[in-house]
Structure 1
């Protein structure tokens, strides 16, 4: 599945110029942001509790079909939050770009996609998941415990350069 390329633009206009750059040459391409997401060994996932309070936890993001994924246990607070309200924010601090990705998370159900995501986690972290009858398990742990994969589909994202003066917004 190929998603259309997002629109990249300056986050601030000349009216907002202080202290941010309004030079369109500083707009970062989405390819730089996706490379940052792909390389990140840790990200922060923010979700919304049923009572509206925020919840943030570190996650190890996976990357498949040009999209970030997370793995979590189905009974975890983040999974229950995402099942009730799919709106979430994934944040990553990169060497040359800090990212805030607002999106929606969807639990992966398709067996082929489950295997593709499991393969992505194996390639990146050597974290071996087993897919059995449409469920995801971590066979390296006693039990073995069940996991769920969530696809985070970006809606908008913000990237901030290391100089603290450049910012890009991507709208999907």
Structure 2
């Protein structure tokens, strides 16, 4: 399903932002930019309401962004408790913000797909055993977890600083 693209600012709020619908960034272009980003910033909420932001590696696959994390990390604990999160990325084409909901990926078939995508993008190879994800290249084969973020809303800000798009999924 393709999201609805709309101008982020109304004409009375826009100066100096563009209100020309021709300046909307099409979602397929934004999705390509997201897929190519080498690093993302993931914002989650702690149990006490304080924000938590960390850099993460991720892969765009089938309309969702999957990120990896050690299962005991603050971000992983936050996502398991409350999947609401925000991912941001800077690209040559502009800045992207995606609000969404994350779920812990536990299905073996999807874990295999995501492991293959991480290997293709980063040459980071995960081992999968007994429904768990491991980095066998590191001493002790530490455990990792995949979280898949389904977008609910997105924002794109053009590199020119004068264009902005909102996507509603």
- TM class, shorter-chain normalised? over 0.9
Q: In the alignment, is residue 95 of structure 1 matched against residue 70 of structure 2?
A: no
Q: 1:42 aligns with which of 39, 43, 53?
A: 39
Alignment: residue pair count: 169
Structure 2 match to 1:107: 104
Gaps of 5+ in 2: none
What is the root-mean-square deviation of aligned Cα atoms in Å? 0.7
Structure 2 match to 1:143: 140
Q: Is the CA contact (8 Å cut-off) linking 1:13 and 1:22 kept in structure 2?
A: yes
Gaps of 5+ in 1: none
Cα displacement (A) at 1:66: 2.9
Equivalent residues in 2 for 1:1-172, closer than 5 Å: 4-172=1-169
Q: Give the TM-score normalised by the residue count of structure 2.
A: 0.98
Q: Give the TM-score normalised by the residue count of structure 1.
A: 0.96
Cα displacement (A) at 1:62: 1.4
Q: Is the CA contact (8 Å cut-off) linking 2:43 and 2:54 kept in structure 1?
A: yes
Instruction: Show structure 1 runs of 4+ deviating over 3 A.
Output: none
